[in-house]
């Protein structure tokens, strides 16, 4: 038995050595606040109102103030909202379960239209992120995992270009800011800065947050991350 245990230990520690990778840089933490939204899954910052749009796993879109208090709730209920983006007068939301992309009026929060974006991967491994990429002048949706696919959509929300992202086990949120596309990995606790055209990773940071699901930037470029399981907003310094 001692012999077998020794073999197990040896194999394990050899693999530890083989797999060792350097630690990533961390981001400067500022503060955190509880958010009242049940099972929050993504956030988008509205520069016009300084408010946050938050979507929930229960298929509901909320508008919250920067302290996490709910200001408004969209009347329409979907199934499993996982991504949200603000652009012009629209708030765009992607439903992971039904593979639908919805447009809400930013002033009334009434649903104005829905588009079906087909994807046959696992129900909980579908579109987890939604962002607008001004560099490509396109919306993009990203599948959560197995595999992580970045799909650029045309003006009719039809996928026209697809990229496979292999630098993380999963992607839970995406946001364009200041010329770069930022991706957040929940399972790898990492924020990636990517080239907005090729989506190649240019830099990465470790985020010490449990179950990070949403990513946004405020007016000054401060990073905001939302945790689903902890129901909290986390505020960080501007990324350098």
Partner 1 sequence: MRISLCCFSLMMCFSDVVLAQYVFVKGDHTLQLSGQLSVYYNHRILKDGEEDKKNNRFRLRDMQVGFNGRKGNVWEYKLRADLADLAANAGGGAALDPENPGLMSAYVVYKALPVHIQLGYDKLPYSLSSMQTFEGSVFWQRGQLLRGDFFSRRDAGLTLSTSLWQQRINIYGGVYTGLGENIIVNNDNDPSGRPEFVGRVDVAYPSRYRYRELDLVSVRIPMVRLGANVRHTDKTQPPGEVLPEGVAGEYGLRIIDGKRTVYGVDAAFQFRGFSAQFEAHTLNLKPAQPNDPLYSNTSDAVNKGVVKAGGIQGQVNYCYLPARSVLSVRYENYNLNDLITGHTERLGVGYAYMFHGMDIAFKIHYYKILNEDQKSESLKWTDQVRVGFQYEF
Of 16 and 48, which has the nearer Cβ to partner 1? Answer: 16
Sign of CA dihedral 200, 236, 47, 172: positive
Shortest Å distance, C-beta 48 to partner 1: 31
Distance of alpha carbon 9 from alpha carbon 109, whole angstroms: 58
Of 30 and 197, which has the nearer Cβ to partner 1? Answer: 30
End-to-end CA distance of the chain: 53
Shortest Å distance, C-beta 100 to partner 1: 9
Q: What are all long-range contacts of 155-164, with beta carbons under 8 Å and residues at least 24 apart?
A: 156/115, 157/101, 157/115, 157/117, 158/117, 159/117, 163/198, 163/199
Which residues are at the interface with partner 1 (CB under 8 A)? Answer: 1, 4-5, 8, 11-12, 15-21, 38, 58-59, 77-79, 97-99, 116, 118-123, 125-126, 145-147, 169, 186-187, 189, 208-211, 229-231
Of 135 and 164, which has the nearer Cβ to partner 1? Answer: 164
Distance of alpha carbon 174 from alpha carbon 159, whole angstroms: 17
Shortest Å distance, C-beta 215 to partner 1: 16
Shortest Å distance, C-beta 29 to partner 1: 12
Of 1 and 48, which has the nearer Cβ to partner 1? Answer: 1
**Are the C-beta atoms of residues 227 and 210 closer than 8 Å to each other?**
yes
């Amino acid at each position: 038995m001692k012999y077998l245990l020794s073999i197990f230990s040896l194999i394990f520690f050899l693999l530890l050595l083989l797999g060792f990778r350097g630690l990533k840089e961390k981001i400067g933490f500022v503060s955190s606040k509880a958010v009242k939204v049940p099972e929050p899954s993504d956030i988008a910052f509205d520069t016009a109102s300084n408010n946050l749009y938050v979507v929930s796993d229960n298929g509901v879109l909320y508008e919250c103030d920067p302290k996490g208090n709910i200001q408004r709730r969209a009347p329409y209920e979907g199934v499993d909202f996982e991504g949200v983006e603000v652009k012009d007068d629209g708030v765009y939301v992607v439903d992971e379960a039904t593979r639908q992309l919805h447009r809400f009026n930013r002033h009334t929060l009434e649903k104005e239209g829905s588009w079906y974006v087909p994807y046959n991967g696992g129900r909980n491994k579908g579109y987890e992120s939604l962002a607008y990429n001004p560099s490509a002048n396109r919306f993009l949706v990203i599948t959560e995992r197995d595999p992580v696919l970045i799909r650029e959509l045309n003006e009719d929300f039809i996928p026209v270009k697809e990229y496979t992202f292999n630098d993380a086990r999963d992607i839970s949120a995406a946001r364009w800011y200041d010329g770069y596309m930022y991706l957040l990995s929940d399972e790898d606790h990492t924020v990636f800065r990517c080239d907005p055209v090729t989506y190649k990773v240019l830099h990465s940071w470790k985020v010490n947050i449990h179950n990070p699901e949403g990513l946004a930037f405020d007016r000054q470029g401060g990073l905001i991350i939302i945790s689903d399981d902890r129901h909290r907003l986390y505020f960080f310094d501007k990324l350098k």
